[in-house]
Amino acid sequence: STLGASAAERGGRYFGAAIAAGRMGDSTYMNILNREFNQVTAENEMKWDATEPSRNSFSFGNGDRIANHAISRGMKIRGHALLWHQQMPTWARGMEGSDLRSAMINHVTRVATYYRGKIHSWDVVNEAFADGGSGGRRDSNLQRTGNDWIEAAFRAADAADPNAKLCYNDYNTDGINAKSTGIYNMVRDFKSRGVPIDCVGFQSHLGTSLSSDYQANLQRFADLGVDVEITELDVAQGSNQANIFAGVTRACLNVARCNGITVWGIRDSDSWRTGENPLLFDSSGNKKAAYNSVLSALNNG
């Protein structure tokens, strides 16, 4: 009868939402969260700029508001995100080389240690691959510290919280394409060399169609020996919206190692995609057709 309960009945999967600490006083929002979802992701509150606003000085108040609520309700928590070239604190944006490398590893260590034991899966590195046909890394000051920065981050996170699943997370990976194949090759290399990666997050910020190989793409990663998670799902409004949400849900159910689905917000009015109405609840908190199609896919599909 709810997204979370129905997902749990399908092999113990979760169905979650990104939430914002600043909205936690909104009773409509909190009632939907508590009724429907059994997993949360902090939309912004666990990012680098939020958690380490000045160097080596940490701030967990808003992240804790979200984490404490989740724990009190038995919801899983996805940690998002230890390292990302966006939403870096001002002090780190101009850094480079070995100074930046040590600052970023310290960040990973301190934040993952602080939340040790509370996080189901961490996005250790977010959006490090380039869009387009290259299949390579995106340029950033993180990348310029050396191509091994991603594995160094995973090793530091593993040392800090050995029981959290450690994920690489990205977008435009919604089918078999150059970008998803570049990530696939990195994961295969990590697995072959014993770099501690446990999962890959597919953000799934989707438009008006779903790639026919969406499920096959999840499956090829699962076949490498990692879990897969749908981490930031939202879908352009339009006649196909409910079908695409259901298609993503069925794809996850059809892949044994797909642990769960997170939508990137609760109501349309909570979405970063302003004016696009890409979520499961309308701005008044009513269930949309997309909600019904997801629930029915969880129960039947």
Alpha carbon distance 68, 211 (integer Å): 37
Residue nearest to ligand G3I (CB): 272
Q: CB 232 → ligand G3I: shortest distance, Å?
A: 5
Sign of CA dihedral 20, 112, 37, 3: positive
Neighbours of 211 (CB within 10 A): 17
Residue number, 93 or 216, with CB nearest to ligand G3I: 93
251 token code pair: 């794809």
141 and 100 Cβ atoms separated by less than 8 Å: yes
CB of 192 to ligand G3I, least distance (A): 28
* d(C-alpha 45, C-alpha 82), whole Å: 11
How far, CA to CA in Å, does 129 sit from each of 2, 32, 133, 300? 35, 34, 11, 36
Q: Which is nearer to ligand G3I, 50 or 297 (CB)?
A: 50
Q: Nearest approach, Cβ of 88 to ligand G3I (angstroms)?
A: 11
Catalytic residue among 36, 43, 127, 151: 127
Instruction: State the angle between helix axes of 214-222 and 178-193 in degrees (0 to 180), rounded to the nearest 10.
Output: 10
Instruction: Specify the residue, 90 or 192, whose C-beta has the smaller distance to ligand G3I.
Output: 90
Start-to-end CA span in the chain (Å): 15
The nearer residue to ligand G3I, 36 or 232, going by C-beta atoms, is 232
Applying CB under 6 A, the residues found at the interface with ligand G3I are 43-44, 86-87, 126, 171, 203, 232, 272
Residues 6+ apart with CB under 8 A from 162: none
Q: Can you say whether residue 237 is alpha, beta or left, with left for phi > 0 and alpha for psi between -120 and 50 degrees? A: beta
- Which residue in the list 36, 52, 229, 232 is annotated as catalytic? 232
CA angle 235, 240, 243 (to 5 degrees): 85
The nearer residue to ligand G3I, 21 or 105, going by C-beta atoms, is 21
Task: Please report how close the Cβ of residue 126 comes to ligand G3I at its closest, in angstroms.
Answer: 6
Angstrom distances, CA of residue 29 to CA of 21, 36, 150, 269: 11, 11, 36, 10
232 labelled catalytic? yes
The distance of closest approach from Cβ of residue 20 to ligand G3I in the complex, given in angstroms and rounded to an integer, is: 7
* Shortest Cβ 8–ligand G3I spacing (Å): 25
Amino acid identity for residue 222 in this structure: A
Q: Does 229 participate in catalysis according to the annotation?
A: no
The smaller minimum CB distance to ligand G3I, of residues 52 and 232, is found at 232
Q: Mind telling me the catalytic residues?
A: 127, 232
